[in-house]
Chains A and B, each alone.
Chain A
Amino acid sequence: GAVVSQHPSRVICKSGTSVKIECRSLDFQATTMFWYRQFPKQSLMLMATSNEGSKATYEQGVEKDKFLINHASLTLSTLTVTSAHPEDSSFYICSARDFGYTFGSGTRLTVV
């Protein structure tokens, strides 16, 4: 079946630095990928839709200048959290659409 690889699985960074998270579709091409954020004991919130070769579409309330999304190829989307702050600490999960929706295993970001 379709596999989505997300890397890194965990990252700790200092406040003010930037962190890049990668999401790869391993055995299929994904023109569209989705990025979600999940705070502890809460649901997943869709942040943005990543479109290959064009700008990402952000959900209301998500800062596009803070959460930079690049979808430069049909198998790779990246999410960069810029100038990270402790309140950005969260679980970030990507998803790609093949015949269905396949999720990566998530990245736990801790900003100290």
Chain B
Amino acid sequence: SQQGEEDPQALSIQEGENATMNCSYKTSINNLQWYRQNSGRGLVHLILIRSNEREKHSGRLRVTLDTSKKSSSLLITASRAADTASYFCATDKNTGNQFYFGTGTSLTVIP
């Protein structure tokens, strides 16, 4: 990818379990964002975490950021079948406006 890698590439869990996805990036950033994409559709913004933040919560989502390791994680708690989608992290380089997506994690939540 242009900026980051995510793992795992694919994750399959049972409904009610927690799902954790990890993102690593290459350069220093201002912000890191997580997006969700249902198959063949547009992107839905989930959460933004700034470089001076270490953890952020939004509903069932918890995002962490470790700038020393250039990594972030997205935790979805109490997963639902409707959470089935691809999840991408996106980072902006602190030298410009552009931001770049990681490779993505395909999450399947089995009812």
Q: Which residues of B contact A97 (CB under 8 A)?
A: 97
Q: Are A100 and B98 in contact (CB under 8 A)?
A: no
Partner of B101, one of A43, A59, A100, A108: A43
Binary contact readout B77-99 vs A (1 if CB under 8 angstroms, 0 otherwise): 00000000000101000000111
Which residue on A lies nearest to B89, using beta carbons?
A43
Cβ of B22 under 8 Å from chain A:
no
Q: Are A44 and B99 in contact (CB under 8 A)?
A: no
Q: Which residues of B contact A28 (CB under 8 A)?
A: none
Bound Cα distance A27, B106 (Å): 32
A1-38: which have CB < 8 Å to B? 6, 32, 34, 36
Q: If the complex has contacts A34-B98, A49-B97, A101-B99, are A44 and B41 also in contact, measured as CB distance less than 8 A?
A: no
Q: Are A101 and B42 in contact (CB under 8 A)?
A: no
Interface centre among A36, A43, A97 (most CB of B within 10 A): A43
Partner of B88, one of A44, A49, A108: A44
Cβ of A67 under 8 Å from chain B:
no
Q: How many residues of B contact A (CB 8 A)?
A: 21
Cβ of A93 under 8 Å from chain B:
yes
Q: If the complex has contacts A43-B1, A43-B103, are A49 and B98 also in contact, measured as CB distance less than 8 A?
A: yes
**What's the nearest-Cβ distance from chain A to residue B82, in Å?**
19
Q: Are A43 and B98 in contact (CB under 8 A)?
A: no
Q: Are A45 and B33 in contact (CB under 8 A)?
A: no
Q: If the complex has contacts A43-B104, A59-B2, A100-B45, are A91 and B98 also in contact, measured as CB distance less than 8 A?
A: no
**What's the nearest-Cβ distance from chain A to residue B15, in Å?**
24
**What's the nearest-Cβ distance from chain B to residue A11, in Å?**
14
**What's the nearest-Cβ distance from chain A to residue B3, in Å?**
9
A/B interface sample: 9 pairs, CB < 8 A: A43-B102, A45-B1, A46-B100, A49-B98, A93-B42, A93-B43, A97-B97, A103-B43, A106-B41
